[in-house]
């Protein structure tokens, strides 16, 4: 870790080779009048909207929608199937095909409401912008989405197969993030906030009506995101059980990496914004990019990172640049060479998720040795993407 002095609080960086736009966003965060102690950048940090993805901000009495992110509650769920890879290998493709048919991906939703599979919608907060999305949300829950979201089958060093699901709050979270960012912008203009609007860091006082409302809506989106992963995990289990009856999953872990939470750090009550960062307490998950390793870890609760760690490998280049740099057929050939089966309905944009478009997960893990202790390294054998 190294420290960058600024005209505000310092920026502490775990990692190397951060680009200028990412560092510029971090310096903006450091100059916020309500930034507490320092800003932390995880080793997977890269430029985002307003705040770097892989950034951690402890704010005094304020919440920033774009420091949580558009995909509120995005996160990862993983578990061991208990099945030996040597037994699983011949069934792999059939199971992946079953998963792809069972879980809507990309922009697809379920054809009917999923209320019979979840009690999530029994207690939706009576907040108008949220209630307006419920009719759509009941069909979104239990769906994967696109981009870097995935369902992956993996193998640990003991030759046991694991499953991992990476997704969040789908369009519900995006709509809520954009609505409350617009509310924050209007309130900042009215109050004469010193935060320049071009920074993309419009903020709400946590104890204001709008701030309390956003935090309540964010809490529901976190519950939605966790339930979304749970339902998809159920579909994955059923696909595996059709080939391996009596499956007993063990070691299940679920973590968010886009959210804000009230916590105490360095003697102050603050709202910690983790945008593409994980609360590194207990067992945590650090997924790699498509085709590279993922890790199950023990969080070390390092106070200097506000008890945070990276949420994954982190992009090394943008999606358009990746599509220009990596021919689709080359990406697909690389996966075949690694014996990783990709199930993706439309492959025209597969280069966006090429492993080389991301940072090296092994480098990321080396840079955060004081943030997490690796427990299990998982190598991929198959992936479903939107």
Positions annotated as catalytic residues are: 311
How would you classify the pairing of strands 268-275 and 204-205?
unpaired
Residue whose entry in the numeric block shows the structure tokens 């976190």: 222
Instruction: Say if CB 52 and CB 26 are below 8 A apart.
Output: yes
Choose among 258, 185, 190: nearest CA to 224. Answer: 258
For residue 356 the two structure tokens come to: 């080389």
Quick one: DSSP state of residue 320?
H
* Spatial separation of the C-alpha atoms in residues 230 and 228, rounded to whole Å: 5
Strands (E), 218-266: 250-256, 258-265
CA trace torsion 263, 280, 356, 76 (10° rounding): -90
Q: Buried (b) or exposed (e) across 226-247, using 16+ Cβ within 10 A?
A: bbbbbbbbebbeebbeebbeee
* Spatial separation of the C-alpha atoms in residues 292 and 334, rounded to whole Å: 11
How would you classify the pairing of strands 258-265 and 11-13?
unpaired
Choose among 227, 204, 384, 368: nearest CA to 290. Answer: 384
Strands (E), 232-286: 250-256, 258-265, 268-275, 277-279, 281-286
């Amino acid at each position: 870790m190294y420290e960058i002095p600024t005209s505000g609080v310092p920026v502490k960086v775990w990692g190397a080779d951060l680009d200028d736009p990412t560092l510029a966003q971090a310096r903006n965060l450091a100059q916020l009048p309500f930034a507490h102690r320092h800003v932390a950048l995880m080793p997977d940090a890269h430029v985002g909207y307003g705040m770097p993805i892989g950034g951690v901000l402890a704010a005094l009495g304020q919440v920033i929608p774009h420091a949580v992110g558009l995909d509120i509650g995005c996160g990862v769920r993983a578990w061991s199937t208990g099945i030996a890879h040597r037994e699983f290998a011949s069934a792999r493709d059939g199971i992946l095909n079953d998963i792809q048919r069972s879980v809507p991906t990309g922009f697809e939703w379920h054809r009917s409401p999923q209320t019979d599979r979840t009690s999530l919608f029994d207690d939706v907060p009576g907040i108008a912008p949220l209630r307006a999305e419920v009719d759509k949300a009941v069909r979104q829950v239990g769906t994967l989405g696109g981009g870097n979201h995935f369902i992956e089958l993996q193998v640990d060093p003991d030759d046991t197969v694991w499953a991992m699901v990476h997704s969040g709050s789908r369009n519900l979270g995006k709509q809520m993030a954009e609505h409350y960012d617009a509310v924050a912008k209007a309130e900042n203009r009215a109050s004469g906030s010193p935060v320049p609007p071009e920074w993309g860091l419009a903020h709400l006082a946590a104890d204001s009506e709008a701030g309390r409302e956003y935090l309540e809506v964010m809490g529901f989106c976190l519950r939605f995101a966790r339930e979304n992963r749970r339902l998809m995990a159920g579909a994955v289990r059923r696909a595996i059980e059709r080939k391996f009856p009596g499956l007993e999953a063990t070691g299940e872990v679920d973590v968010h990496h886009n959210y804000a939470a009230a916590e105490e750090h360095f003697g102050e009550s603050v709202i910690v914004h983790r945008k593409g960062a994980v609360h590194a307490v207990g067992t945590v998950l650090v997924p790699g990019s498509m085709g590279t390793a993922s890790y199950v870890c023990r969080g070390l609760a390092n106070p200097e990172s506000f008890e945070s760690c990276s949420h994954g490998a982190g992009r090394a280049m943008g999606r358009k640049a990746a599509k220009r740099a990596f021919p689709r057929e080359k990406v697909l050939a690389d996966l075949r060479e690694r014996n990783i089966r990709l199930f993706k309905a439309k492959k025209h944009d597969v280069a966006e998720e090429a492993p080389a478009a991301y940072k090296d997960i092994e480098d990321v893990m080396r840079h955060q040795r004081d943030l997490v202790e690796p427990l299990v390294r998982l190598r991929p054998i198959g992936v479903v993407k939107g």
